[in-house]
Amino acid sequence: MITIKNSITDIALKSEAFNSQWQSKLENLLALGKAAGADFIEIFLENIDHLSILAEQDSITSVSPSFGMGAGIRVFRDKRDGFVCTNDLSESGLQEALSQALDMLGLEINNLVRNDFDGLHLYRNYGEGKKNWLSESLGLNEASKLLLLGTTKLNDYGKNISVRRGSYSRSWQEVLVAGSDGTFARDIRLHQSIGLNVLSTDKEHRSSVGRRYGTSASPDDFRNWDSDSTAEELCESAQKMLYADYVEAGQKPVVLANKFGGVIFHEACGHLLETTQIERGTTPFADKINNKIAHDSVTAIDEGITEGAFGSLSIDDEGMEPQRTVLIENGVLKRFISDRAGELRTGHKRTGSGRRQNHTFASASRMRNTYIAPGSYTPKQLIESIDDGLYCKSMGGGSVGPTGQFNFSVEEGYLIKGGKLDKPVKGATLIGEAKEVMPRISMCANDLDLAAGFCGSISGNIYVTVGQPHIKVDTITVGGR
């Protein structure tokens, strides 16, 4: 049992856990793994501190802090890999995890099969200038006040609003990556997101809309958050959608707004350009490098370097600095998004895209900031080019299946009649197949913008950015009533 010497309120909540002093411990583990016959060993150490706050109406109704540490150890032999995660970061705990990972591949920890581990390279500390990120980010008091200001603004601007909610989430993560190829890097990451949601009701009419914003790497980002304009925009949308009719189903031309409209590329094509999809045999683009897979107007990029964007990284979860990867150039497929296992199994060079939710997942090739490049049209020109179609102003989530069929929902839509926006409609879901839809993106506007999002897939839920300018899809299936 512990002896209480200080008041619990005096405890210094030490946040950072990893530094170069881990080198010898990690080198011992990596040497053991290599000696046992592994081709490659990677150790991923993680230390987290999360906070989420919920405001409802005019009260803070939930404050949920969480913290913890863990390790994920991955061992490769030939093209197979074994992965073990543990919360036990003691020397014996890590050695047991390594032993289990080796055992999965038929290797034993105390054997001496090979002796070719040269030690870890120079320690790369990307967390050096980020020491104060946790203490400088919004605290409980400040975040609570911000949320309550937001829900008050919703009350000021809204009509028929029965539920007002605001939520804030802060995720601080310290990682240390060590690999038997010498990789030795540490980073600190900070992701914050804030959002407002409303439910409007009037007799049988109901509408629920929300907006969420996310940033990385900047503790101050939300201190100047404009809750006023967010609340005003949200209330305007909720009121319009409250009395909106359900969209009529059918095949239609659509214009998708910029920012979160980029979910169409993320779901329809982005996932199919991850090397995990080649490994599974579930992408139709596996053998299409340098072939045309989209309309001439489409150039698509995945990168991890835009400052402050939700999907940006100093290093990926395999210790590699991220790149700017042009996936599609003028309709021609140029690159896949690749991680270490992807390079090993498919031959596509790593792009700094090995990502995972936390230490309990092995890294996989995942998107970062993914967007369609701007074109030369104005958004107005796109709408004017359609006689009878749908304008998707605000998108919900989506998904893609193992045969390449994708879908995503439209939160706020408007009919296009005679080249002009007409009445609001709700309840639309857009579905299609990447191979068929990508050639139908015929016009891109000049107003590229990005939006923060969360992507759930093989290695868990990760922070991403989607984006695009306004785009026109010549025809797509619009599910409705």
Name which of residues 430 to 459 contact other proteins (CB under 8 A).
Answer: 431-433
Residues 260-279 that bind other proteins (CB under 8 A): 279
Binding to other proteins by residue 140, rule CB under 8 A? Answer: yes
Binding to other proteins by residue 285, rule CB under 8 A? Answer: no
377, burial (CB in 10 Å: exposed 0-12, middle 13-18, buried 19+): buried
Residues 172-231 that bind other proteins (CB under 8 A): 199, 206-208
What is the token pair recorded at 425? 């409609």
CB-CB contact of 351 with 323 (8 Å): yes
Give the shortest CB-348-to-other proteins separation in angstroms: 17
Nearer Cβ to other proteins, position 189 or 426?
Answer: 426
Q: In 3D, which of 168, 174, 169 has the Cα closest to residue 130?
A: 174
Binding to other proteins by residue 28, rule CB under 8 A? Answer: no
- Which residue reads 């870890």 in tokens? 120
Residue 309 CA: distances (Å) to CA of 134, 216, 313, 466: 18, 6, 9, 10
DSSP state for residue 269 in the 8-state scheme: I
Secondary structure class of 146 (helix, strand, coil)? helix
Give the shortest CB-442-to-other proteins separation in angstroms: 19
CB-CB contact of 71 with 97 (8 Å): yes
Binding range to other proteins, per CB under 8 A, among 124-132, 185-193, 253-261, 427-435: 427-435
Reduced DSSP (H G I as helix, E B as strand, rest coil) percent helix, strand, coil of the chain, to 5: 25, 40, 35
Residues 99-138 that bind other proteins (CB under 8 A): 99-101, 103-105
List the one residue from 65, 119, 129, 347 that touches other proteins (CB under 8 A): 65
Residues 307-366 that bind other proteins (CB under 8 A): 360, 362
Nearer Cβ to other proteins, position 223 or 280?
Answer: 280
Binding range to other proteins, per CB under 8 A, among 86-94, 114-122, 412-420, 465-473: 86-94
What is the token pair recorded at 460? 């868990």
What is the token pair recorded at 310? 């939700």
List the one residue from 4, 21, 224, 287 that touches other proteins (CB under 8 A): 4
- Backbone φ, ψ for residue 228 (5° rounding): -65, -50
List the one residue from 16, 23, 28, 69 that touches other proteins (CB under 8 A): 69
- Strand 205-216, strand 250-256: pairing: unpaired
Residue 27 CA: distances (Å) to CA of 72, 96, 356: 15, 15, 23
Nearer Cβ to other proteins, position 224 or 403?
Answer: 403
Give the shortest CB-61-to-other proteins separation in angstroms: 5
Give the shortest CB-246-to-other proteins separation in angstroms: 7
Residues 360-399 that bind other proteins (CB under 8 A): 360, 362, 396-399
List the one residue from 20, 68, 156, 417 that touches other proteins (CB under 8 A): 68
Q: In 3D, which of 85, 61, 58, 86 has the Cα closest to residue 74?
A: 85
Nearer Cβ to other proteins, position 207 or 215?
Answer: 207
Q: What CA–CA distance (Å, rounded) separates 85 from 100?
A: 10
Binding to other proteins by residue 142, rule CB under 8 A? Answer: no
Binding range to other proteins, per CB under 8 A, among 61-69, 117-125, 287-295, 439-447: 61-69
| Distant-in-sequence, close-in-space partners of 12: CB < 8 Å, separation ≥ 6 | none
Binding to other proteins by residue 37, rule CB under 8 A? Answer: no
Binding to other proteins by residue 478, rule CB under 8 A? Answer: yes
Nearer Cβ to other proteins, position 381 or 405?
Answer: 405
Q: How many CB atoms sit inside 10 A of residue 476's CB?
A: 22
- Backbone φ, ψ for residue 325 (5° rounding): -110, 115
Q: What number of chain residues touch other proteins (CB under 8 A)?
A: 83
- The CA-CA-CA angle for residues 383, 384, 390, to 5°, reads 35
Binding to other proteins by residue 97, rule CB under 8 A? Answer: yes
Residues 233-262 that bind other proteins (CB under 8 A): 246, 249-251
CB-CB contact of 163 with 155 (8 Å): no
What is the token pair recorded at 329? 């150039």
List the one residue from 83, 133, 172, 391 that touches other proteins (CB under 8 A): 83
DSSP state for residue 38 in the 8-state scheme: -
Let me know how many helices (H) and strands (E) the chain has, helices first: 10, 23
Residues 397-426 that bind other proteins (CB under 8 A): 397-399, 401-405, 407-409, 426
List the one residue from 16, 25, 60, 343 that touches other proteins (CB under 8 A): 60
Give the shortest CB-158-to-other proteins separation in angstroms: 14
Give the shortest CB-330-to-other proteins separation in angstroms: 27
Nearer Cβ to other proteins, position 77 or 448?
Answer: 77
